[in-house]
């Protein structure tokens, strides 16, 4: 399959540590021999930042902060808009690098590239104070100041690193913060281009620092005393370690974590649309490696077998293969560790008595050297089983039967995750009633998008805290200061 396509540049570019106005070829934590998930071959040696480089990056951001904070909002807006233009102009190259980075099917335009920077550019000159007291007892006047934190530590994961940077950096920068970003060593090529375009856009040195690294770099960033807030996307285990560290200094932390999103299919749903979406977004696109993907399909009993058959038919037509091939539906998972974990879930589901509808194995033949797993669907899944409760993060869909609306809600809310949920029904009243009762940060009804720059995105419980997107996403990077001014000679009323 790989040899039948037109010549494609599958090589990864040289990766650097971008600190202030410097681009370093090496880091004190050594190198990561990165393996391409499609081929199983090493395609680059990635320099890894250690505690030394993280300290340098944080100090560069700290030095740049006073001037950046005082930069007028219209100028911050101009720079963000310039960055948006450059990101969009380089869409095909971002698409190529993203496919190499994480095995996502190649697309020449990634919609998030310009959308999020443009949205938050519009907020840069609209951050205002509120008057909270006027003519109060004793002649006091009071107001608030919404101010940036300072240096923000940003840690992103491998499944969409450029998209994650577009979600996190623009609101932080629009608010007047400076940032130190730690991209993952597994997916460094898109962030490298992002760093180059930051410089081309004209951001002052030190405002944005991008330093790939592993655990040492992450720990150094989280615990650095000059970092005022952490914004993290990744798994709950790492998030818990971050919280234990930040608890020592009460450092605020924004966490966008995992999910086990329920997809409720009621008997009056448009099944053509519902089943196609469910199949593509659970075992097709990105090989199921998405935190908000609808990986638990809850189907009403009156249509259950019909839906199972529809899903089987759709998935049987999926093509597993080279993500650069336009015929491919399902590409590779990120690495061998992911393969082992996903196959473990599959074998566990078989032992638990779930019905294997399709798939269930690692892809062989010419794909055997890569990290490819067949799109896999299980029916008759126990809602309390490991497959229904755990985040597989791979091309595996669970189908669960329910009878009543109340039962569907109980099953949907029956995991520790609460990131997203999906509802399919033609009854608008029921849709709103169910949405109100679901425990999830984002609800999508009848195919509505759950990820856009003007919508708050983020979960509850084990899925994290805080929001990205919308005005709420900007507020995450501002802290409120209250100021009171005595206007008369009344008695002292403070503490």
Residues recognised as catalytic: 256
Rounded to whole angstroms, the Cα distance separating 287 from 105 reads 9
Distance CA(293)–CA(48), nearest Å, equals: 31
Contact 271, 342 (CB under 8 A): no
Considering only CA atoms, give the Rg of the chain: 24
Beta partners for 464?
256
β-bridge partners, 484: 142
Chain centroid to Cα 447, Å, comes to 20
Dihedral angle of Cα 52, 11, 94, 32, to the nearest 10 degrees: -20
**Do the beta carbons of residue 158 and residue 102 sit within 8 Å?**
yes
Tokens 């033949």 label which residue? 365
Residue spans of beta strands (DSSP E) within 156-284: 178-182, 208-210, 227-233, 253-256, 262-265
Q: Cβ of 371: how many Cβ atoms within 10 Å?
A: 27
3-state secondary structure 119-146: HHHCCCCCCCCCEEEEEECCCEEEEEEE
Please report the DSSP string for 420-469 in residue order.
EEEEE-S-HHHHHHHHHHS--SEEEETT--S--TTS-B--EETTEES-BS
Question: Burial code of 428-467, b = ≥16 C-beta within 10 A, e = fewer?
Answer: eebbeebeeebbbbbbbbbeeebbbbebbbbbebbbbbbb
The answer for residues whose C-beta is within 8 angstroms of residue 364's C-beta and 6 or more apart is none
Instruction: Please state, as a whole number, how many other Cβ atoms lie within 10 Å of the Cβ of residue 31.
Output: 14
Nearest to 402 by CA among 286, 271, 214, 264: 264
Task: Assign 3-class secondary structure to 297-321.
Answer: EEEEHHHHHHHHHHHHHHHHCCCEC
């Amino acid at each position: 399959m790989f040899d039948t396509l037109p010549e494609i540049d599958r090589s990864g570019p040289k990766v650097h540590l971008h600190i202030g106005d410097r681009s370093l070829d090496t880091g004190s934590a050594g190198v990561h021999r990165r393996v391409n998930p499609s081929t199983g071959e090493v395609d680059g040696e990635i320099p890894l930042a250690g505690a030394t480089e993280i300290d340098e990056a944080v100090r560069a951001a700290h030095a740049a902060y006073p001037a950046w904070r005082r930069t007028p909002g219209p100028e911050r807006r101009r720079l963000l808009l310039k960055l948006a233009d450059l990101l969009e102009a380089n869409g095909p190259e971002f698409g190529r690098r993203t496919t190499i980075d994480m095995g996502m099917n190649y697309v020449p335009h990634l919609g998030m590239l310009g959308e999020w920077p443009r949205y938050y550019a519009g907020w840069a000159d609209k951050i205002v104070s509120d008057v909270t007291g006027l003519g109060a007892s004793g002649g006091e006047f009071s107001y608030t100041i919404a101010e940036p934190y300072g240096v923000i530590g940003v840690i992103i994961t491998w499944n969409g690193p450029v998209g994650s940077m577009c979600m996190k950096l623009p609101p932080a920068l629009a608010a007047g913060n400076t940032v130190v970003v730690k991209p993952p060593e597994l997916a460094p090529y898109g962030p490298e281009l992002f760093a180059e375009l930051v410089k081309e856009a004209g951001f002052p040195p030190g405002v944005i620092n991008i330093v790939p690294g592993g655990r040492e770099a992450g720990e150094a960033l989280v615990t650095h005393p000059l970092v005022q807030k952490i914004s993290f996307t990744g798994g709950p285990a790492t998030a818990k370690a971050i919280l234990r560290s930040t608890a020592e200094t009460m450092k605020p932390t924004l966490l966008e974590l995992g999910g086990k999103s329920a997809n409720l299919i009621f008997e009056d749903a448009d099944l053509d649309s519902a089943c196609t979406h469910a199949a593509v977004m659970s075992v097709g696109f990105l090989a199921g490696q998405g935190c908000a993907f609808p990986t638990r399909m809850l189907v009403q009993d009156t249509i259950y077998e019909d839906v199972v058959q529809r899903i089987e038919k759709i998935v049987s037509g999926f093509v597993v293969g080279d993500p650069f091939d336009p015929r491919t539906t399902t590409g590779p998972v990120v690495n061998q560790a992911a393969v082992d974990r996903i196959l473990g879930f599959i074998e566990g589901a078989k032992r638990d008595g779930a019905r294997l509808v399709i798939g269930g194995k690692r892809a062989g033949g010419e794909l055997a050297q890569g990290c490819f797993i067949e799109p896999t669907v299980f029916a008759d899944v126990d809602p309390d089983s490991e497959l229904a409760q755990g985040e597989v993060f791979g091309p595996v869909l669970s189908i669960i039967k329910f009878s009543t609306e109340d039962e569907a809600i109980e099953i949907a809310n029956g995991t520790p995750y609460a990131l997203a949920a999906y509802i399919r029904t033609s009854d608008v009243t029921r849709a709103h009633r169910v949405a109100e009762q679901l425990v999830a940060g984002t609800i999508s009804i009848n195919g509505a998008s759950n990820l856009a720059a003007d919508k708050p995105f983020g979960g509850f419980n084990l899925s994290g805290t805080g929001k990205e997107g919308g005005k709420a996403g900007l507020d995450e990077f501002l802290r409120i200061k209250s100021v009171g001014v005595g206007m008369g000679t009344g008695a002292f009323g403070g503490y």
